Amino acid sequence: MRHFLTLRDFSKDEILEIISLAVKIKKEAKSGEFKPYLKDKVLGMIFEKSSTRTRVSFEVGIHQLGGKGLFLSTDDIQLGRGEPLKDTARVLSRMVDMVMIRTFGQERLEEFAKYSTVPLISGLSDTYHPMQLLADYMTICEHGKNKDLIVAYVGDGNNIANSWLMLASKIGFELRISTPKGYEPNQDVLKNAYEFAKKSGAKILMCQKPQEAVKNADVVTTDTWVSMGQESEKKRRVKDFEGFMVDDTIMALAQKDAMFLHCLPAYRGYEVSDEVFEAHEKEIFDEAENRLHAQKAVMVWLDKQRKN
């Protein structure tokens, strides 16, 4: 049985296999064909943080696959009143077929997985957001940008930046990251990425200035400067991130037809200007839609691993 907690645990071939499956499932759905790959299966969805895309895409996704999703907010279940995670894992394992959790520390996912007898999927933690990156890479492939790919990530070295490091180092493309001092990605993740890059041929570059990172990039991407759980740091962060907004002058340094991606929600006037956002709204919302298709593929893939 496999879990989906970070792309660190997946090979390049497995990532590409899941993306191919997502493309196939998307094509079927677009032609009105919703195959019941997970007929009568139930997905438990525990949310310890807010969500729009992750919640809707998992709930719609499992429904379209012939199963059912259970939305379990920690405000409503006993976990929120102190029932141990390991007990929650063992109870849910007896009743549902798969679990998705959006939480704080990555170690919470690992603890749940240790006690779970059904596959567990990360819907984001403080360290990673692997589902997002599958959708992002799927979108890059659909837009025909995956050959000799250069991605520039400008902004906070957060869960999204860490996940880009995992994706790039597994797939083998060039990733340039530019963050303000003190906001670099997780050092362990970076170390892992450099290690994986040796095998895949990925180029991982840390750039002092956003302008350096975006030069001739095929894809420019960013994320909020204030992630969930960091709300009290907003004032300081906004000051520290001065000069890191992706605006027209930054985009002008990238390839002429460069894509701009954002996992959303986006905060215009902070990490991205309204002009850049609206000029690239087609690919941004393709990216958002692909969460649905990529997640359906992950659920089908994990279910297949259980049977093998």
Q: Footprint of ligand CP on this chain (CB under 6 A)?
A: 51-54, 124, 132, 263-264
Tell me the C-alpha distance between 252 and 254, whole Å: 6
Q: Return the residue of 186, 227, 290, 295 that touches ligand NVA, per CB under 6 A.
A: 227
At residue 147, what are phi and psi to the nearest 5 degrees? Answer: -90, 135
Tell me the C-alpha distance between 147 and 84, whole Å: 46
**Given 129, 176, 262, 293, the catalytic residue:** 129
Q: Compute the least distance from the CB of residue 223 to ligand NVA, in Å.
A: 5
Is residue 132 part of the annotated active site? The answer reads yes
Indicate the residue type of 209.
Answer: K
Does 135 bind ligand NVA (CB under 6 A)? Our answer is: no
Q: Return the residue of 16, 56, 60, 228 that touches ligand NVA, per CB under 6 A.
A: 228
**Given 64, 126, 262, 263, the catalytic residue:** 263
User: What is the sign, positive or negative, of the torsion defined by CA atoms of 224, 225, 230, 232?
Assistant: negative
Quick one: 157 or 197, whose CB is closer to ligand CP?
157
Radius of gyration of the chain (CA): 19
Q: Return the residue of 97, 223, 283, 287 that touches ligand NVA, per CB under 6 A.
A: 223
Is residue 87 part of the annotated active site? The answer reads no
Strand partners, 71: 45
Tell me the C-alpha distance between 34 and 91, whole Å: 30
DSSP 77: S
Is residue 108 part of the annotated active site? The answer reads no
Tell me the C-alpha distance between 67 and 60, whole Å: 10
Is residue 207 part of the annotated active site? The answer reads no
Does 220 bind ligand NVA (CB under 6 A)? Our answer is: no
Touching ligand NVA, residues 260-299 (CB under 6 A): 263
Tell me the C-alpha distance between 308 and 303, whole Å: 9
Touching ligand NVA, residues 105-124 (CB under 6 A): 124
Does 224 bind ligand NVA (CB under 6 A)? Our answer is: yes
Q: Compute the least distance from the CB of residue 216 to ligand CP, in Å.
A: 27
Percent helix, strand, coil in the chain (nearest 5)?
Answer: 50, 15, 35
Which residues form the interface with ligand NVA (CB under 6 A)?
124, 158-160, 223-224, 227-228, 263
Which residues are known to be catalytic? 102, 129, 132, 223, 263, 291
